[in-house]
Structure 1
Amino acid sequence: MNKIIEKNISGKKVLGFFIVTNLVYAFMLMVTIPKTMAFSNGLKLLDMMPTGYDFNYVNKLFSTLGENGRETYLINQIPVDMIYPLLFGISYCLLMAYFLKKINKLKSPFSYLCLLPILAAIADYLENLGIIKMLTSYPNYTETTVTIASMFSVIKSISTSIYFITLLVILILLGIKSLKKTSSTI
């Protein structure tokens, strides 16, 4: 895995993946999520609930969405959200590796931090599969399906949060390293 990452952490590749990933994310935030939420009467969509949800919330949301809203969720939001996790996993894995290399920590146990966005992506896919199952079987989905989908929502949000906190720490370390390098050349 490290060899694949090392071959792909040129600044241009990392930036390219980062831009494409965030364009897809922006499209979801500005188009598919609002289009779906137009039917939700202010209720959050399941994939936007970092602390998870329960059976009663899903019933309330799906009932409020109505047939058109559930179809919009399934036909508009979910397909884009099946592309995004792959892009997120690759892009942010490479971004972490890029900055770890800058602080000379890529060939260390810190390289495992590159797996956090991949874990988040896998959890996002499993969450999406649960949402698809619930949407297609409405109103006959089980509490177990809701619990499992919710669990993957929480795993996705925890791994994403840990990733961004870690990335921030690494960027701070890189800034300190750059300041030290600059002050030693003055």
Structure 2
Amino acid sequence: MKRLTEFLEKNISGQKVLGLFILTNVVYTFMLTVTIPKTMEFANGMKLLDMMPTGYDLNYVSELFTSLGENGRVTYLTNQIPVDMIYPLLFGLSYCLLLGYFLKKLNKLNSPYIYLCLIPIIAGIADYLENFGIITMLKNYPELKETTAYATNIFSVIKSISTSMFFIAFIVVLITLGIKVLNRKTSANKELR
């Protein structure tokens, strides 16, 4: 906990957190508007593995990769995956620091709540492991192994669960901070009367 606190204390200046947040969301927007749609053009309406929060099985992977065809699989491997190798690092770091920034505003940085800052890091690591699984399957297609599909699916589900947990925690922290600010203003107004 001490090392995490020191890391956060050094890096949670408002300017740094805002800059990372903007960069993270520029990359995310690029994926949502450029690389994912470009890859999905080949998918015949099927969702990419990255976009399936509840998971998939070997049959789905096989059907998707067949549907993508050679050009779609190459596009997945050379367009979507390279950008998605940048995003998990940005997501993990940016949202870890963002949560730390708001926890500091609540004076909760030196409490067990600091461990909430690890949730986006877990999501980022799971995203990388998911990507490595997808790369392996794309390169080995049509020879797909059930163990690779199963492991990749687990990392996809861990990514989506931890991402959801982060956003829930983040919303709770923001609401708590909002209540604290409102209470402070109410107290200040009462003292002025």
> How far, CA to CA, are the matches of 1:152 and 1:52 in structure 2?
9
> How far, CA to CA, are the matches of 1:5 and 1:28 in structure 2?
28
The structure with more radius of gyration = 2
| Contact 2:126–2:155 under 8 Å retained in 1 | yes
Structure-1 residue corresponding to 2:135: 132
- Please tell me whether residue 83 in structure 1 is matched to residue 53 in structure 2: no
Structure-2 residue corresponding to 1:61: 64
Deviations 1:31-77 (A, max 9, x none): 00000000001100001000110011001100000000000000000
- Provide the TM-score with structure 1 as the length reference: 0.99
Structure-1 residue corresponding to 2:98: 95
Q: How does 1:168-183 map to 2 (within 5 A)?
A: 168-183=171-186
- Provide the TM-score with structure 2 as the length reference: 0.96
Count, aligned residues: 186
- 1:115 aligned counterpart, secondary structure: helix
Q: Identity over aligned residues, as a percent?
A: 69
One-letter amino acid matched to 1:142: K
User: Offset of 1:2 from its aligned partner?
Assistant: 1.6
One-letter amino acid matched to 1:84: Y
- Please tell me whether residue 18 in structure 1 is matched to residue 5 in structure 2: no
Structure-2 residue corresponding to 1:41: 44
One-letter amino acid matched to 2:47: K
Moved over 6 A (4+): none
Q: CA RMSD in A?
A: 0.5
Q: Name stretches of at least 5 consecutive residues in structure 2 with no aligned partner.
A: none
- Please tell me whether residue 51 in structure 1 is matched to residue 54 in structure 2: yes
